[in-house]
Amino acid sequence: MRTLTALLDSSVALCHTIRMTTRGRLNARLEPELERKLAYLRQRTGLATSDVVRASIERFYEAMRAGGQQARAILEESGFIASGSGPADLSERYKEALTESLSKKHR
């Protein structure tokens, strides 16, 4: 009869062997919020978890390679950039405007 130590040692060796021969496997711990988002994406797209992860990695990779240009394009398309109102030179003199506003508030 095998001892508990022998059983554990053989299971570790088996597990190690499987991990060494399985290429491209990913094991990730997700926070509950990310689990919820993953479930939403799977349900919405009908894709398997692996497909959602692959597509997400590909999209993130392309965004990183684009050097931020893609992010700017997305913000411009969404109307986020230049969506506020105020003086045309506010981005250049915001500190002055903030100081002025705070001094009026605390008079």
Is the model's pTM score more than 0.85? no
Q: How far is CA 17 from CA 58, 82, 83, 103, in A?
A: 29, 56, 56, 69
- Residues 70, 11: Cα–Cα separation, whole Å: 47
- Residues 44, 54: Cα–Cα separation, whole Å: 16
Q: What is the pLDDT along the chain (107 residues), one digit of tens a residue?
A: 455 455 445 444 444 444 444 578 888 899 999 999 999 999 999 999 999 999 999 988 887 887 767 777 877 787 777 667 777 888 888 899 889 889 988 87
- Residues 13, 91: Cα–Cα separation, whole Å: 61
Domain boundaries, the chain: 30-105
Amino acid letter, residue 45: T
Please report the pLDDT score of residue 78 as a whole number: 79
As given in the structure block, the two tokens for residue 67 are 């050097």
